Each structure stands twice: as structure tokens, then as C-alpha cells.
Amino acid sequence: MRAERMIATLLLLQARGRVTAAELATELEVSVATARRDLEALSAAGVPVYPQAGRNGGWSLVGGARTDLSGLTGPESQALFTLIGPGAGASPEARQAVRKLLRALPSPFRADAVAAAEAVRLDAGAWGEQRRSRPEVVDVVQQAVIDRRQVRLDYSSRTGHVSNVVLSPLGLVAKDDLWYLLATRDGAPDVRTYRMDRVASVEVTTEEAERPEDFDLAREWQRVVAYVEGRRARVRATVLVRRRHLWVLRDHFGTYLDVVGDASPVAGEERIEVTVAAHTARSLAEQLAGWGAMIEVVGPEDVRQELARIGAELAAAYGRRSSNFG
């Protein structure tokens, strides 16, 4: 989606010479803050887009009101296609837009621009994970967001309960190969989040979607992330780990791991003290159990008890079986 907006932004600048963030937001059906961030991203990537202050100000392409995209230099065109390349294959329309943009470049720069677009590929799947496919309903809902139309979903909750809901869609976010819809329901001001892989069917209605004037997708998503991260870090344990193993533990827990103090060795040993977190004591114990004697869980006691319970379960399941083969 962002790649398509970048191309559309440049084409608008080419056609008009100068646009304000508010005008761009109206044209592209995004918030003013999103339009401004896109313009700033283009400028930061090296594209000759610059702001002009004052009553008749706005954003312009360097070179005058009618400068077209063929005015890009070689490095500028490479920077642009590196920026849009990873997402440009998201749809046939986006690919066609890239082809049109390529034709607007001077011929000496086209090969480098193509190479830049193909230099980066995003693979959101972790090692060992099966890559999730993009749900077909995402395209339907995306268009509803642009058209500002309400949608009717058959939605399955986390517990499996299926309900039919009518929503005013506000925006879509892709995170770790999962798509989320941010929307309001029944005219209420609070924004809710819906996983698109739980949507069985979608129908776009003729009713206009309600959209808060101050809604900002990036800001609202950060609020959602902060809330979820808080819930996933309710239980925290103190752990002693050898310094050489710290990077592995950090790789597993990510932002849920904190080093205590200045990371100096504990009691003269090459062990350092860290804290790790999860949503329950059982979940935390399950993640730590595989480390065996390589770590020492200092506390809290409920995590230590869960580790002891897991150890007893494993001993009961495999200890007797091993002795039978002895």
C-alpha cells in the first residue's frame, strides 16, 4: 500500500508541481499526518522533494512547478526504487505503476533503477515457519477503507464464536505476516482490532463509514502494540545465565529480556543476571525449561514451581521408558 502511495504522490507532484499535505491526504484517502510522513520519507530517500513555508507553500519537486519524473538523477532514481521495490509487487496495479514510472526515467538510469528495486526482498516468515498467505478478504476491505464504506464481516473470535458485525474500517496493518483491521463499531468512538485470517466472509455495504477526524493509523497501531506487549509481559522472572549464552536467550525473548544492572558477573562467575517475561508463569517456565542446567531461575517462586512440575512430567513420561531399554 505504501509503495502505491509513493508512486501516486510523485505523479501528483509531476502533474501539479506543488501540493500541500492536506491536498495529498484528500487525494489519497489518508490522514494528513500519513501524507506528511510519506513526503518526508521521499525526501529522506534522496528524491528531490522539498517543502516551502508560507501562505502559498507546499511540497514541490526541485526544478519548478512542471518538473517531471525524468528530472531525477541516477542516485535519486535508485533511492526511489529501493524504497518502493519490496512492496511494488503487491498487486498488478502496483507493478503497472512501476513500469510507467520506469518509462518516465532517462534511459541511462532505467537499468540501475530496476536493479535497485530488485536489490531488497522482504520475507516476514521466521525460520521454520510456514509463510502465511495474504487473505483474499484483505483486498476487499482495503478498497472499502479507500472508498469509506462500511463492511459486514462473519468474524470468528479467539474462542471460536462466530458473529456477524458491521464495521467502519479505518486501516489495515500487516505484522509478522498477519493482517489486522482497525475499525469502529456501532458508532462507538473506540477503535477495535480484528485479525483478517479470522474473517470468513466480507460484504461491502453502501453505508458511509464513520471516520474520526483525528484518526492516525500509525499512532493508533502503536497504542495497540503497547497494549498487547503489556499483556504479554505480565509475569517476569529473574534468571542467571552464562555470558556466552546471553545472545541466544536474547534472540528468543527479544524485548522481553532486560539485563539487570551493569551486567557484571555474579559472585565471581561468568554468569549475569537478567529478567525475562511472558503472559503467564506456566508459559515462562515452558520457554525456560529447555535450557536445563545452563540457567538458574532465581524467582519468582511460582515460575520455579512450574519448572519443577514440567520436570516431573517429563521424568514420569520418559524416565521409566528409558530404564526399560537399559
Burial pattern 198-225, b for ≥16 Cβ within 10 A else e, equals ebeebebeeeebbbeeeebbeebbeebe
Report the distance separating Cα 227 and Cα 231, nearest Å.
Answer: 6
CATH topology of domain 137-215: SH3 type barrels. (2.30.30)
Domain ranges of the chain: 2-117, 137-215, 235-324
Report the chain (326 residues): mean pLDDT per 10 consecutive residues.
Answer: 68 74 84 85 74 75 52 68 58 66 66 69 63 79 90 90 92 85 86 92 93 86 88 90 89 90 66 92 93 91 94 85 53
Q: SS3 for 154? A: strand
**How many angstroms separate the CA atoms of 300 and 307, rounded?**
11
Distance from the Cα of residue 307 to its chain's centroid:
33
Q: For the domain covering 235-324, report its CATH number.
A: 3.30.70
CATH code 1.10.3470 for 2-117: no
At 199, give phi and psi (nearest 5°): -90, 120
pLDDT the model gives residue 207: 93
CA angle (255, 42, 120) in 5-degree steps: 60
**Angle at which helices 107-117 and 74-84 pack, to 10 degrees?**
30
Supply the pTM of this predicted model.
Answer: 0.58
The pLDDT of residue 57 is: 73
User: What is residue 170's predicted lDDT score, i.e. its pLDDT?
Assistant: 92
Contacts of 95-103 with C-beta under 8 Å, sequence gap 24+, read: 97/4, 97/7, 97/8, 98/7, 101/7, 101/10, 101/69
Three cell numbers at 306?
Answer: 512450574
